[in-house]
A and B are shown apart, each in its own frame.
Chain A
Amino acid sequence: MKFVLALVALVALAFVPSFAGPYPLGLGIGVLGYGVLATAWAMFSGPTRYISLATVAFFGLGAYTVAVLSETLPYPVVLFVAAVIGLVVALIVGLATLRLAGIYFVIFTFGLTELVRQLVTYYEVNVTRTLGRYVFLPLGPEHIYWQLLALLAATLGMAYWVRQSRIGLALRVIGDDPVVASHLGIRITRTKLTLFSISCVIMTLAGAIQAPRWTYIEPSIVFNPTTSFLVVIMALLGGPNRLFGPLLGAVPLFLLFEWLSANFPNHYSIILGLLFIAIVFVLPNGVLAAGESLWTRLSRREART
């Protein structure tokens, strides 16, 4: 039943570009893009509680791969190469850092974005001697929308599978108490590395798919740290430990950002800052969790009366 519903929703969403105008379609692309990133982020960071700020490092790598290879390779191959690059970087980074915990991991991932950005810049400046790159692919907004929709469906499917499988359980144990997990015989590093890699590959693909929308790509455009922060706040708002939590955070927040920037262009940053504080204070476990606890409290009250 659930699967049928999901399939119907997917098909219905696939028909959006045929009747939506360019602006709603642009919104759709934004919502899907952030939906994918937030879901992928929560897949690893939700259960382990490792706050990663490296989202945009992988996102940017994907976009750059498309910019570099789009003229020489067919598009599907480019996407595949992007995924492989994302995987390789995730493995290297994961092996080096997943033994870190808490704030050290946060700082490291933030630094990673800057490191990747500087490496790309260094390479472009000293080896290819171009910095801006052009992506001229015959892909309209509707194509980007469809690809993102497919990627979102795949991401949700993957997240669903992880939740059901042993690896998901193992990850939750690690998140609750790594010492207990290791005593239970869970191979901590391997488990974390697997999930981290899957999550990073999805982020890389999200960047690769959206690259043709910008035409012009340079490090400051695709490695924008704000993206990483937005993804975290979206996942936290919706609730990173639920399947649809990150998505439910991404959709309203994205629309809210859009509404704010359309109506309060001069106060956007101030309102955004207040909003972030509000989310952390008022909804520390996300909207879904807050809704559930509200529900249980209400029904308990009813039971008492």
Chain B
Amino acid sequence: MTTISRRTVLQGMGVSALATALSGLPVLAQDRTAIRIGYAISKTGPNAAGAGISTTPNYLLWVDDVNKAGGITLSKLGVTLPIEVTEYDDRSTAEETVRAIERLATQDNVDLILPTWGTGANLASGPTFDRFGYPQLAGTAVTDMAPDLVKRWKHSFWMLGGGHDYAEALVALLVKQRDAGTINNKVAIASVADGFGIDLSKAATPAFTEAGFELVYDKTYPLGTSDFAPVISEVAGLGVDTFVAFSYPPDTFALTQQSVVANFSPKVFYLGVGTAFPIYPGIAGPNHNGVMGIGGIDPDSEALAAYFERHTALNGQAPDNWASAVTYASLEILAQAIERVGDIDREAISAEISSGEFDTIIGKVKLVDNQLRSLWTVGQWQDGKFVGLAHTERAGAREPVVPKPAWVPAA
């Protein structure tokens, strides 16, 4: 009995090794019946939650939208072809992301590759995209390095700005409020000790100081912290009107709930990633109103409203109010660039993305130095919508509500 199972296991190993070797054979017949798009996305591991909110649903929606409209027209070949998807799980590891892209580019020979979720993973896959000449439209990477990266990797496009954009916009917005006399001069910052929190606090601390704010609290807390009572009770005694947390999703929710419990209700309550998530109002209840955070949308845009509807209908959840629309817009840019080139010529497509102007759900977009510079930076929940208060290129969609309504005590 045991002999048999051992042998079976060994045979299984042999078969799988053989299969791996066979799958290494290149695809010979390249019959073009579809435009083949590949992506490796975090379906498991720590990045799965973020990918499942901002990235994957938009990939699914885009493919659905394009295919329902008949596909993408390749005028030079005289055909309109639907999109066919090859997807992998990168298991939230950089090593797997890199290898999955190598596999997509050289084994599956896909026409185009969509990037994975998150700053680190997009930076880690940059050299691989570049080596194979695939355009990389990073819709969920926040990095101040973008101007340097585009010089290094000509096919990379950075769509979500850098830490400085968000931190400086927030400070500028608060300066106005202070000068108008609505808030005092004291600010408290708590940041998650991880890439995002550090990047933003590094940009925000000098910006606040230069603007003449008094930083009475500026500390980090470890990733994975769930009890914020010590932070909140310390900050509550400092007399600040402005509380800023460069936080991550679980902390963002915990900070909200625990501030309500402690009845710490500063005039400006700003949180990081997660504030813009569609589930935030569900978690914060009536207290979501007036909370500020990173991102934002234009509540008056009809294109965006239609996008929200389609997204909710297909995925069963609304998009987030920051990176989702940008991610979808980056896919629209990609599709339009392909149609203008009229063929799967990745060099030409990259050049078109870099220089062309595109019609997207976030308006007319033209990249500057391979970067999307038209971004919502500060948002606030007002009447059930996470409206943009500050934008890098235009005026805010709404005026900030300061002070925010006092917390409704938890029942």
Which residues of chain A have a CB within 8 Å of any CB of chain B? 21-24, 26-27, 30, 118, 121-122, 124-126, 129-132, 134, 136, 213-216, 218, 220-221, 224, 226, 252, 255-256, 258-263, 265-266, 268-269, 278, 282-283, 287, 290, 294, 297
Contacts and interface: CB of A to CB of B under 8 A. Distances in A.
Interface string B165-208: 00000000000000000000000000001110011001000000
Interface in B277-325: none
Contact of A261 (B13, B17, B91): B91
Interface string B120-131: 100110110001
B24 interface: yes
Contacts of A214: 94-95, 98, 124
30 contacts: A23-B103, A24-B24, A30-B95, A121-B193, A121-B194, A125-B198, A126-B220, A130-B202, A131-B194, A131-B199, A132-B123, A132-B195, A134-B145, A214-B98, A215-B127, A216-B119, A216-B120, A216-B123, A218-B120, A221-B93, A252-B16, A256-B20, A259-B17, A261-B96, A263-B23, A268-B44, A278-B9, A283-B9, A290-B6, A297-B3
B46 interface: yes
Contacts of B17: 252, 255-256, 259
Nearest to B97: A214
Contacts of A216: 94, 119-120, 123-124, 126
A221 B120 contact: yes
B23 A255 contact: no
B13 A252 contact: yes
Given A129-B202, A130-B202, A216-B119, 18 more contacts: A23-B24, A27-B99, A121-B194, A129-B198, A131-B198, A132-B119, A132-B199, A134-B145, A216-B123, A255-B17, A256-B16, A259-B23, A265-B43, A265-B89, A268-B91, A278-B9, A282-B2, A290-B6
B230 interface: no
A259 B19 contact: yes
Nearest to A140: B131
Contacts of B46: 220
B238 interface: no
A111 to B, nearest CB: 15
A216 B95 CA distance: 11
A136 B2 CA distance: 52
A226 B93 contact: yes
Interface of B: 2-3, 5-6, 9-10, 13, 16-17, 19-20, 23-24, 43-44, 46, 87-89, 91, 93-96, 98-100, 102-103, 105-107, 119-120, 123-124, 126-127, 131-132, 145, 152, 193-195, 198-199, 202, 220, 222-223
Contacts of B43: 265-266
Contacts of A129: 198, 202
A186 to B, nearest CB: 36
Contact of B94 (A134, A221, A256): A221
Contacts of B24: 23-24
A22 B105 contact: yes
A215 B102 CA distance: 15
A131 B106 contact: no
A265 B16 contact: no
A129 B205 CA distance: 11
Nearest to B88: A265
A179 to B, nearest CB: 33
Contact of A118 (B2, B91, B222): B222
B129 to A, nearest CB: 11
- The listed residue with most B CB atoms (<10 A of its CB), out of A126, A214, A263, A269, is A214
A251 to B, nearest CB: 8
A134 B6 contact: no
A125 B23 CA distance: 44
A23 B2 CA distance: 37
Contacts of B119: 132, 216
B407 to A, nearest CB: 30
Contacts of B95: 30, 213-214
A287 B96 CA distance: 26
